[in-house]
Amino acid sequence: MGKKLRIGIIGTGGIAHAHMRSYLKMAETVEVVGGADIIPGKARAFFDEFGMPGAKAFERSADLLDMELDGVSICTYNSTHAECTLEALSAGLHVLCEKPMSVTLEEAVAMYRAAKSAGKILTIGFQPRYDPNMDLVREIVGSGTLGDIYYIQTGGGRRRGIPSGTFVQKKYAGVGALADIGCYSLDMVLSAIGYPKPLTVSAYASNRFGTNPKYFAGADKFDVDDFSVALIRLEGDIALDFRMSWAMHMDSMGDTMFFGTDAGLKITPAGVGTGWGGAWDGTIGPMFLYSDIKGQLCETSIPLRKPSDDRFFSKVQAFCNAIRTNGPAPIPTIQSVYNQAIVDGIYRSSQAGKEVEIALPEL
Ligand SMILES: NC(=O)c1ccc[n+]([C@@H]2O[C@H](COP(=O)([O-])OP(=O)(O)OC[C@H]3O[C@@H](n4cnc5c(N)ncnc54)[C@H](O)[C@@H]3O)[C@@H](O)[C@H]2O)c1
């Protein structure tokens, strides 16, 4: 067996635990040798929790990056994804950065360019990609069964699902629901159609629930969006209708639908009727294909595949496998830049109150 991969974790808060558990499942071939968190004592406490006295704990990511490492998991809140990624790439490391890629498109472009010039992997943590039913969606759409796709509707709505902590303050999260779970919905539909370039966005966003103490205990600190809708024009004459909500007086924001010239695919959200559910932010509910056979309008129920029990592990494993083969990134970095371009466009358009262009530089 070859040498074990040496991994570091930057940001040892909530999601770092899921990264750590995944790396521990590969303990024969991967070792987490250190971690850093700007909150004094937090990285040490993290490793103590896992019974790892030998792992080095730092308060400055620069000190962690001085260690001999192959790659890092970046598990900081959104507003520091870009700076930590740039630092790790310039230290010559491969990076698995949590979602969303960044806060702004400008940051995402800088991250993409840095990974390209360093010749290192930069992959973003969209674990729903590793759902076998997402593969099924990609296979159906990719097979051409739907014909030319001209309209897609997607998104997710939680009836009561405002997260707490660093997710609801702009200085940490940068953006609210639209980036937090919206980036998943965008990734799922766009990866199915090969990620065409986004061109324009007309969006509306608000935060009527997060800022209301009746619905959210931390309302005084809440300053991100909790609801957004957008019409995004994509290259190839495709309209993408996006809806996202962390809280609402409704059971669902609707199904995910691909409209094609030969058939349509409907994916109902899993978990409608539960407080948190109704979101296509990770779990696929019953799927139906609508078609026309000899003039007869048909509706076919598509049996679902057994869901993967650990999509999160699959994403961390894919990162480690990519390091061993020196790439490519399991989720192509350019796709995450396009995803971020849409998040950025929705944010800008809702602020401006009008349609905005998505100006992607040559990449
Ligand atoms: N993929 C998933 O299922 C999933 C789930 C939850 C969160 N996330 C993402 O993970 C990220 C973190 O979320 P969380 O819930 O763990 O947040 P968190 O606030 O619990 O943890 C973030 C940690 O990063 C630390 N940090 C911030 N900047 C740092 C820096 N420059 N250097 C070192 N440490 C730094 C903070 O002190 C904090 O401890 C977010 O981007 C979030 O969107 C992903």
- Return the residue whose CA atom lies nearest to atom 28 of ligand 1: 76
Write the DSSP string, 92-161.
Answer: T-EEEEPSSS-SSHHHHHHHHHHHHHHT--EEE--GGGG-HHHHHHHHHHHTTTT-SEEEEEEEEE-SB-
Ligand 1 neighbours, Cβ below 6 Å, are 10-16, 36-39, 42, 61, 75-78, 80, 84, 98-99, 125, 127, 165-166, 180
CA of 304 to the centre of ligand 1 (A): 32
CA of 140 to the centre of ligand 1 (A): 35
Three-state DSSP state, 296: strand
- Return the residue whose CA atom lies nearest to atom 19 of ligand 1: 166
- Return the residue whose CA atom lies nearest to atom 18 of ligand 1: 13
Nearest to 155 by CA among 233, 240, 261, 237: 240
* Candidate from 17, 20, 37, 96 with most ligand 1 atoms within 8 A of CB, to mutate: 37
- Return the residue whose CA atom lies nearest to atom 15 of ligand 1: 14
Q: How far is it, in rounded angstroms, from Cα 179 to Cα 191? A: 17
Q: How far is it, in rounded angstroms, from Cα 94 to Cα 88? A: 8
Other CB atoms within 10 A of residue 117 CB: 10
Q: What confidence score (pLDDT) does residue 318 get? A: 97
Q: How far is it, in rounded angstroms, from Cα 318 to Cα 295? A: 45
CA of 168 to the centre of ligand 1 (A): 13
- Return the residue whose CA atom lies nearest to atom 35 of ligand 1: 11
Say if CB 210 and CB 219 are below 8 A apart: yes
CA of 12 to the centre of ligand 1 (A): 7
Q: Which atom of ligand 1 is nearest to the CA of 166?
A: 19
CA of 286 to the centre of ligand 1 (A): 32
Domains of the chain: 5-127+311-330 (3.40.50.720), 128-308+343-357 (3.30.360.10)
- Return the residue whose CA atom lies nearest to atom 38 of ligand 1: 13
Is the pTM above the cut of 0.85? yes
Helix (H) or strand (E) holding 338: helix 333-352
CA of 338 to the centre of ligand 1 (A): 22
CA of 264 to the centre of ligand 1 (A): 38
Say if CB 155 and CB 182 are below 8 A apart: yes
CA of 149 to the centre of ligand 1 (A): 36
* Candidate from 15, 42, 46, 315 with most ligand 1 atoms within 8 A of CB, to mutate: 15
69 CB-near residues (< 8 Å, 6+ apart): 6, 7, 8, 33, 34, 91, 93
CA of 36 to the centre of ligand 1 (A): 12
Q: How far is it, in rounded angstroms, from Cα 159 to Cα 226? A: 11
| pLDDT tens digit at each of 363 positions of the chain | 679 999 999 999 999 999 999 999 999 999 999 999 999 999 999 999 999 999 999 999 999 999 999 999 999 999 999 999 999 999 999 999 999 999 999 999 999 999 999 999 999 999 999 999 999 999 999 999 999 999 999 988 888 899 999 999 999 999 999 999 999 999 999 999 999 999 999 999 999 999 999 999 999 999 999 999 999 999 999 999 999 999 999 888 889 999 999 999 999 988 776 656 656 666 788 999 999 999 999 999 999 998 777 999 999 999 999 999 999 999 999 999 999 999 999 999 999 999 999 999 999
- Return the residue whose CA atom lies nearest to atom 21 of ligand 1: 13
Q: How far is it, in rounded angstroms, from Cα 77 to Cα 75? A: 7
CA of 216 to the centre of ligand 1 (A): 21
